[in-house]
Chains A and B, each alone.
Chain A
Amino acid sequence: MNLGAIFVGLALVILVLPVVFDPFRRPSPARRSAARTPAADSHERALLALRDLEFDYQTDKITEADYRAIRAELLAQAARAIEARKKEEEILEEIIRKRRQRKKEAAICPQCEAALQESDRFCPSCGHARINPCPACGHENRTEDRFCSHCGQQLEQDGNNGEKHAH
């Protein structure tokens, strides 16, 4: 194996390594989850079945009596699924609300240890001026920081709130 090839090989390694280890140097952006709940599956399935049933009826594959009976059943299934999804969403919103609440109260004044809210710029009990607080965990950062040194959350920069879209 000649020297040139070894150099090119080394160059490949040098090109590859930063890409592979890049995620450890900076936090990864939040990704969407595609997990679905049983209610969502049931909802979609009922709608598809209703559509197929309608089509089978129009193309004269199914008798009027069967059509009515199955349609009523599928409508009921869809209705049940919709109700269930609504409940799920309510629970979800409740959880998100609670989590926000918790987050807002999570920060503690470094000077007097009083509970702080996310939006507080000064500690209400001792008047400590907070510097670049993290919207997620309340940790105070240096003014030039772009990400929270405690939890990795992107920090607000000149009114540009990077995390507003999350929920």
Chain B
Amino acid sequence: MLTDVGLLALVLAFVLGVYATLASYYGGRTNQDTWVESARNAAILTFPLLTISVFAVVYALYALDFSLAYVADVSSRAMSPFLRVTALWGGQQGSVLFWAWLMSGFVMVVLLRKWERDRELMPYVIAVAMLTTAFFIGVVVFITNPFTRMWHFPGAAELTMAIFQPAGAMPYIPEDGSGLNPLLRHFGMIGHPPTTYLGFTGFVIPYAFAIAALITGKSSGDEWIRATRRWTLVAWIFLSIGLVLGGRWAYDVLGWGGFWGWDPVENAMLMPWLTGTAFLHSVMMTEKRGMLKKWNMVLIILTYSLALFGTFITRTGVISSVHAFSKTALGPAFFGFIGLTFLGSLSLLFARWDTLKSDHQLESFLSREAAFLLQNMLFLAITFAVFWGTVFPLISELVTGTKITVGPPYFKRVTGPLFAALVLLMGIAPLFAWRKQAVRKLGKAIWVPFAASLVLSGVWGYAHRMHPAVYPALWLVTFVVLAILMEFWKGVRARIRGRGESPWVAFQKLIGRNRRRYGGYIIHLGVVMIALGFIGDAYLKSETQGTLQLGESLQIGEYSLRFDSLDYYPGSDGREVLEATTSLFKNGELVTQLNPRRDYFVVQQQPVTIPGVYSTAAGDVYALLVGWEEIGFQSSTFKIYINPLIGWTWLGGLVMILGTLIAAWSPSRDREGATYTLKPRQASLSYLAGD
């Protein structure tokens, strides 16, 4: 009953989505507000309808309605109720529905909040956003429908998948489902897919506004940027959180001692983040100097297309094998839609090329504008390197017929120097003035953080003197942090001197009056912390492996791990657990007990290695159980990683959230939209437009 209602609501949502796209476009073209408003109502209603549909799936997963193929696929009796609910995004059908639901949610919020403003752009914003939403709902309805049931024809060897009962078939309801992929049974899976999807779908808002600005030809004004500034930031921070949570999940579950493996799926998430970050910076050039208007368009089109591409890669598995592509209609449908989005947007941009007049003037190569431009170039270069490395195995297979692997060494070697240049730029760029920077003043500003960072990183580097290669990286991080902190101090000092404020008041007001600037600097600090985690991973990591008898110890650095016992017991969620008890000693003193485990999921026949981790500010000790003697449990093989500085990555993620909150926070409702928009003086000229 509920699943049937969910199906009907889904179909109705699809009809409304198509209607909203067409009606708003028609209304915009013929300048008829009634059509646009009707389209708006339809677009808003899509969300509650999809909510019914999502609820129906979630309930079926929870209540174990195995008549649905999706439920039988990802849910099972052994799973906890909580895991059953998260199984919504554990498989293809559910996650595409989840994606469509989130996107329609974003569209609804925008239509409720921005409706009264932006009258010219709105028809096309609705048309563009709902076209994408309708496409995703259409994919759910026609290609990967979570309400599909299993049917059995008498005498047939295989089950038939269909939504309605085919003539002569009997419904097939299995006793139990196969359950969620064991790797996804982790608390990180609560947060990682939803935040990543929120990030991906959130970029539809700036994209829709950009395309609307292009269609109406009002793109020479910055209205679309003003209207979507905060939305972009929201999408960006969700994608950032998604990336960090994904790293945390990999660290906790995949059992290879690291958090970022340059896997195609990870790269697919990283690419829109890279171009999105470039976009966040380049719009500032437009707002402040009227520059880069065409470039912004290119970046947002690229970001959005890459977000779709990311979904395409994760949901079709095209990269791991070309042959997975055409197994279902999903691959070709996605591929066609991404191509349409990308090429359609670009040709629209070229058609409107001349309306985007920028005011490009610059006094000096040494200026903040130049730094912004260089930063954008670096982000694009990294995006290209990542894209190229991700799709190259595919190209190689198509061109030469040889399958190859492009693994982490490639990505580290190619993007490493570019990332280092970006981090350096993060320290130097804030020291530049807009338009023109005197070399003398720059030298004066750089001198203090430069000297201090040499000293500090020298001391720090001494602690890691076994790895001399890490020294330049530590210097870079120290320098950038000091340079950013100097910026805060200089701003506070200027306020104290100029206005006679007390230091604390000056600090508060400095940030309060320039939220974006200082929120941005705080985000930069968070990025540096994450960079520190990568530096530890690249230079300072050490590992060892050894087979121990009961009571024996394995030595790594100043730590040693003693094997105490190995136990076997049946665990929850249908797993058999093999758990080692070990004692970790630091310089001969007992610090903690670690319990590395091997969970074996019987139904899926899949082992999951769960590490025992001891975390300190300096780094983690990460122990894995990789082998054991089957009879008597007298000996086991352990692998131990020392992962210095890794904790900074998670902390950096939190600091980034804090910085984003500061940058995006609006103090009160009536100042919504900008901290500095001027009061309109009398009536504005815009009444000419549609009256």
What is A's interface to B at a CB cutoff of 8 Å? 1-2, 4-6, 8-9, 12-13, 16, 19-24, 27-28, 31-38, 40-45, 47-49, 52-53, 55-56, 58-63, 66, 70, 85, 88-89, 91-93, 95-96, 99, 167
Contacts and interface: CB of A to CB of B under 8 A. Distances in A.
B164 interface: yes
Contacts of B556: none
Contacts of A2: 1, 4
B289 A49 contact: yes
Given A1-B7, A40-B684, 16 more contacts: A2-B1, A2-B4, A5-B8, A9-B8, A20-B41, A20-B45, A23-B37, A33-B690, A45-B289, A45-B290, A49-B434, A52-B434, A60-B441, A61-B441, A89-B681, A89-B685
Contacts of A43: 678
18 contacts: A2-B4, A5-B1, A5-B8, A9-B12, A16-B16, A20-B41, A22-B41, A31-B116, A34-B118, A48-B676, A55-B494, A56-B434, A59-B491, A60-B441, A88-B685, A89-B683, A92-B685, A95-B688
B434 A16 contact: no
B164 A36 contact: no
Contact of B8 (A12, A28, A32): A12
B77 interface: no
A37 B684 CA distance: 9
A46 B372 CA distance: 19
Contact of A28 (B12, B37, B441, B497): B37
Nearest to B38: A23
Interface stretch (B193-201, B216-224, B415-423, B531-539): B216-224
B120 A66 contact: no
A63 B438 contact: yes
Closest 7 CB pairs of A and B: A5-B4, A9-B8, A23-B37, A58-B494, A33-B686, A61-B433, A56-B433
Given A35-B686, A55-B494, A92-B687, A16 B5 contact: no
A95 B223 CA distance: 24
Contacts of B683: 89, 92-93, 96, 167
B431 interface: yes
A59 B494 contact: yes
Contacts of A96: 683, 687
B689 A35 contact: yes
Contacts, number: 177
Contact of B34 (A8, A23, A91): A23
Contacts of B38: 20-24
Nearest to A95: B688
B223 A20 contact: no
A115 B691 CA distance: 24
A1 B290 CA distance: 59
Contacts of B290: 41-42, 45
A95 B684 CA distance: 12
Interface string B20-50: 0000000000000111011001100100010
Contacts of B497: 58
B115 interface: yes
- Chain B interface extent, by class: 35 or more
A27 B36 CA distance: 12
A89 B218 CA distance: 20
B401 interface: no
A103 to B, nearest CB: 11
A91 B687 CA distance: 12
B509 interface: no
B688 A92 contact: yes
Contacts of B676: 44, 47-48
Given A13-B12, A22-B41, A66-B438, A52 B288 contact: yes
B19 interface: yes
A27 B52 CA distance: 31
B5 A35 contact: no
B62 interface: no
A15 to B, nearest CB: 9
Contacts of B586: none
A98 to B, nearest CB: 12
Contacts of A16: 12, 16, 45, 49
A20 B19 contact: yes
A4 B290 CA distance: 59
Nearest to B677: A44
A38 B690 CA distance: 18
A84 to B, nearest CB: 11
Contacts of B689: 33, 35
B431 A61 contact: yes
B227 interface: yes
A49 B247 CA distance: 40
Nearest to B35: A23
Contacts of B587: none
Nearest to A47: B678
A44 B37 CA distance: 32
Contacts of A37: 221, 684-686
B9 A89 contact: no
A52 B289 CA distance: 11
B119 A32 contact: yes
Contacts of B37: 23, 28
A31 B115 contact: yes
A150 to B, nearest CB: 16
A89 B9 CA distance: 50
A38 B221 contact: yes
A32 B688 contact: no
B687 A33 contact: yes
B436 interface: yes
A60 B444 contact: yes
A12 B164 CA distance: 21
Interface in B486-529: 487, 490-491, 493-494, 497-498, 514
B445 interface: yes
B287 interface: yes
B248 interface: no
Contact of A34 (B34, B119, B438, B491): B119
A1 B287 CA distance: 55
Nearest to A40: B684
B435 interface: yes
B117 interface: yes
B685 A23 contact: no
B347 interface: no
Contact of A1 (B4, B118, B227): B4
A62 B438 contact: yes
Contacts of B12: 9, 12-13, 16
Contacts of A95: 688
